[in-house]
Structure formats: C-alpha cells, structure tokens
Amino acid sequence: MSQGQAAGTGATGRAVDVGDATTRFLLYGLLPGWFLPGLADWAMHRRTRIEETAGTRESLIHSLMMAEVGVPIALTLRYEVNPLLLSVQLGAAAVHEATALWDVRTAVHSDREVRPVEQHVHSFLESLPFGGLASLMCLHADQVRSLLRGGRGDPDAWRLVPRRRPLSPGYLAGIGVAVGACVLLPYGEELLRCRRAAKARKRRARGESPQRRAGDGKRT
C-alpha cells in the first residue's frame, strides 16, 4: 500500500484499499445514480405542465443548473484534482445551490405546483454535489492543503493537468450516452415544449387583439 492510502478489511478478510473503493463508488455509484433523480425531476415538471406556468424561464434555469454541475464533472473525469479544479468544484457547488433557490422561487411565483415528491427529489439532487465533493476532498487531502496554502510550492496547482491514469474510453462513452439520454434529451424536450407553448400564447394574443378591436367598433 502506497503512502497516503488507507486499507480496511473486507468480508473475505482481504485488505481493501479505501481510496480505490471510494473512487469506484464515485465512478460507478454516485455519478450514474445522478441520472435517475434528474429524470424524475423532469417527469415532475411535465406532470405539472411547466410550459403553461413558469415556462421558458424556469426551463432555462434548469439548463443553467445542469451546466453548473456538468462542467466540473467533465473536468474531473479528464483532469487531475488540484487546487484549480477544487476551486472550480467548490465555486460551482455554491452557485448551483443559489440557482436551486432561484429555481424553486420561480416555480412557486408562477403558481406551478411543486409537489412533496418533487421537493424530495430536489433535496436528493442538491445533496449529490456536496457528497461527491466531500469524497473527492477526502481522497485528495494533500490538494486541499495545497489549496489552503494558495498552491505555494506546486507549479501545477493552477493549471489543468491531464489524468495520469485516464479513465477508459468505454466508461467515458457510457457516461456520455447516459448524459444524452437522461439529461440532454428530456430537458431539451422540456425547453422546446416551453418555447412552443410561449409562441402559441403569442399567436392567440395577436389573434384576439383585432377581434377585440372589431367588437369594440361594433358596440360604438
């Protein structure tokens, strides 16, 4: 076992590398587990007819939140964790939390019903970035200390460094397919649906206006 690693004893009595186990949990547990609550949240939006209430504005907020989570994840999958990447992750988590509050406020003010099930889904989605970030910081405690020192003495502290052990192309392709199927397609459909509903409302408003003026003219 190399320096900085910890080991425990598994059910078979063999030594288990805690760092490797945590990494496997992040790659094959937490990250794939993100997609199901994301789909559930989209289903809640559809069920409460977001296109007729909060509409495009809330849907764009959802896209912003996905970008705030997706960019740090993409960087972490390709680059080494260092003070720069930790700063990006911490900043994105804070901004994502603020955007989540904006999202709920927008939904409530639009009279879209945010049901208890959707609120619980939101709680799960909000907790995942902090859980993943806490695990990464435990795995890379040396980089956390470097960040607290401002990266002094580390020439690579403030630049993106490609992973020394790149993830397999198959894993990255699988995550890419899952992102497309569980994030881009459903939320793209939501945004398109909201845009179409907004255009339909504008057409109805333009059509009603001449009729109203004609009716007013008849009455006079």
pLDDT at 3: 41
Find the Cα–Cα–Cα–Cα dihedral 170, 174, 175, 178, rounded to 10°: 170
Amino acid identity of 115?
A: R
Task: Give this prediction's pTM.
Answer: 0.83
Give the number of other CB atoms < 10 A from CB of residue 191.
19
pLDDT at 207: 82
pLDDT at 215: 55
pLDDT at 2: 41
For 83, residues 6+ apart whose C-beta sits below 8 A from its C-beta are 143, 146, 147, 150, 151, 154, 157, 158
For residue 15, what are the β-bridge partners?
Answer: 9
Contact (Cβ atoms closer than 8 angstroms) between residue 39 and residue 186: yes
pLDDT at 217: 54
| Distance, C-alpha 142 to centroid of its chain | 26
Euclidean distance between CA atoms 65 and 167, whole angstroms:
25
**Mean pLDDT in consecutive groups of 10 residues from the start of the chain, 220 residues:** 47 68 93 93 96 95 95 96 97 95 93 91 91 94 96 94 96 96 96 96 81 54
